[in-house]
Structure formats: structure tokens, C-alpha cells
């Protein structure tokens, strides 16, 4: 199925990941009769077919239900099979907005991981990114010294920000391997205000409702120009 999708031009595939009984992660569709297949075999199939008919980047959307230990195994497998094709989001090299290149052309031949992150970012109005570690409850918050940007204006508070996800069950290794953090969708205004390295999944019914409402059509198009939306 993964090979067929990629050979037909799909640039995003979803992997539902569960603990394998042998200590190695499986891919399956939870609570169904779907046959379990090994995560390693899926990754190998993706590597063999991802760039046969298109050089442009492939996103692996990971639905992670595995233990911390098997998440680490997932990362080892991806590093081994994807090698230089696997791209991590290098926070140190992206301290300014104009330092980030997200064009398909710049990411040719790359495999991008979409999952949750333990460490996320917040943007000040000056365009400077700062990292904030998760608290004990798993939510990312601004330190008190970071609540104002260099111009003295109030910065965004991550307590109420969708980037502040509960990520206590995500391993550090998988968090570091994630190129695009998953962001829970709330509304179009929320997406339009977020940094563009995240991605939000929206169901087809919601997208259809946008295009039935004249006043939302242009807003939806504008959001999609600057933020990654997965339908």
C-alpha cells in the first residue's frame, strides 16, 4: 500500500505505530483486523519507492502509540534506513525567520518526520526564536524573562498556545528527529498566527465548510500559503 501510494505521487503517508511483541515496533491500524507489519519493513519500502517518480520531499506522519523504548528503536531504524535523506529541524540554524528554507526544491530527496515534540518554540515580534523546555506536566511554557521581546512588548504565552502540547510520552530521540511538530487545529485565525514549520491536520468536512462560506474562502487560501495544512 505504501509503495503504491508513493509511486502514484503521494508525498505524505501516515504510519500508525504500536509496540511489537518482539520489542520491535509494528505498523497497524489500531483496534481493527488490519495485519501488523514491522516498522522496519515499512521504512525500507518507503526508502525504495519514495523518489522513484518524484524527487520532492516525503512526509511521514507518525501516529505514535509505542513505548518510550520502542520510540527509540523507531528512530534507530529511520536513521539506519533513511541515512542522509532523513532531515531533522536544526533549531540552532533557524534563529531567524529568513534563515529557514521550506521550499520543495530545497528539500528534494528528503524524508521529513511529522510528530509531536517535547521542545517547541515561540516567536517574538523581532523574529527571534527561543526554545523552552517542558515543565513536569509536559507543557511548554515561557520563562518569566522571555514573556517580553526585545522591543519590550508582550510575547505569546505558551500556556494557551497550541504549540504547548502535552508530550510527556514522547522520547527525546523521537522529539529531536521530528522535522514538523504536529499542532492541534482550533481555527483559521490560530493557524495564520503560527510559525510555518508546524503542520495541522484538518478533516475533509471542515475544509468543505470553509469553501461553502464565501467569507472564509480567501482566509483559508491565505493560511494555506504560509502554513502547512494536512487534509
Q: What is the pLDDT of residues 62-82, one digit of tens each?
A: 999 999 999 999 999 999 999
Report DSSP state, residue 182: B
pLDDT at position 92 = 31
pLDDT at position 216 = 85
Q: Using CA atoms, how far apart are residues 62 and 177, in angstroms rounded to an integer?
A: 11
Q: How far are the Cα atoms of 61, 98, 153, 224 from residue 201, in angstroms, in the given order?
A: 10, 25, 31, 12
Q: What angle do CA 69, 115, 183 make, to 5 degrees?
A: 140
Burial class from Cβ neighbours inside 10 Å (0-12, 13-18, 19+) for residue 121 reads: buried
C-alpha cell at 92: 540552532
pLDDT at position 50 = 97
DSSP characters over 65-104: -S-HHHHHHHHHHHHHHHGGGEE---GGG-SBGGG----T
Residues of the chain with confidence (pLDDT) below 70: 89-102, 119-168, 195-197
Identify whether the C-beta of residue 161 lies closer than 8 Å to the C-beta of residue 179.
Answer: no
Q: Taking all residues of the chain, what is their mean pLDDT, rounded to a whole number?
A: 75
pLDDT at position 200 = 82
Looking at the DSSP bridge assignments, the partners of residue 21 are none
Report DSSP state, residue 128: B
Quote helix, strand, coil % in the chain, to nearest 5: 35, 20, 45
pLDDT at position 195 = 67
pLDDT at position 67 = 95
pLDDT at position 90 = 56
pLDDT at position 150 = 38
pLDDT digits (tens, 9 = 90+) for 191-211: 777 766 678 888 888 888 888
The SS3 of residue 166 is: coil
Identify whether the C-beta of residue 40 lies closer than 8 Å to the C-beta of residue 77.
Answer: yes
Amino acid at each position: 500500500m505504501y509503495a503504491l501510494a508513493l509511486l502514484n505521487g503521494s508525498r505524505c503517508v501516515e504510519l500508525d505505530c504500536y509496540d511489537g511483541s518482539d520489542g520491535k515496533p509494528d505498523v497497524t491500524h489500531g483496534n481493527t483486523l488490519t495485519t501488523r507489519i514491522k516498522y522496519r519493513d515499512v521504512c525500507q519500502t518507503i526508502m525504495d519507492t519514495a523518489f522513484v517518480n518524484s524527487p520532492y520531499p516525503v512526509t511521514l506522519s507518525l501516529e505514535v502509540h509505542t513505548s518510550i523504548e520502542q520510540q527509540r528503536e523507531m528512530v534507530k531504524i529511520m536513521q539506519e534506513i533513511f541515512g542522509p535523506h532523513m532531515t531533522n529541524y536544526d533549531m540552532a540554524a533557524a534563529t531567524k525567520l529568513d534563515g529557514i528554507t521550506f521550499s520543495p526544491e530545497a528539500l528534494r530527496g528528503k524524508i521529513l518526520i511529522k510528530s509531536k515534540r517535547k521542545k517547541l518554540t515561540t516567536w517574538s515580534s523581532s523574529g527571534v526564536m527561543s526554545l523552552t523546555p517542558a515543565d513536569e506536566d509536559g507543557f511548554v511554557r515561557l520563562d518569566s524573562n522571555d514573556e517580553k521581546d526585545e522591543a519590550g512588548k508582550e510575547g505569546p504565552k505558551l500556556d494557551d498556545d497550541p504549540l504547548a502540547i502535552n508530550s510527556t510520552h514522547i522520547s527525546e530521540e523521537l522529539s529531536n528527529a521530528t522535522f514538523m511538530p504536529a499542532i492541534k487545529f482550533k481555527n483559521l485565525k490560530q493557524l495564520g498566527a503560527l510559525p510555518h514549520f508546524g503542520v495541522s491536520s484538518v478533516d475533509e468536512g471542515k475544509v468543505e465548510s470553509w469553501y461553502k462560506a464565501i467569507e472564509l474562502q480567501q482566509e483559508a487560501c491565505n493560511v494555506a500559503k504560509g502554513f502547512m495544512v494536512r487534509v
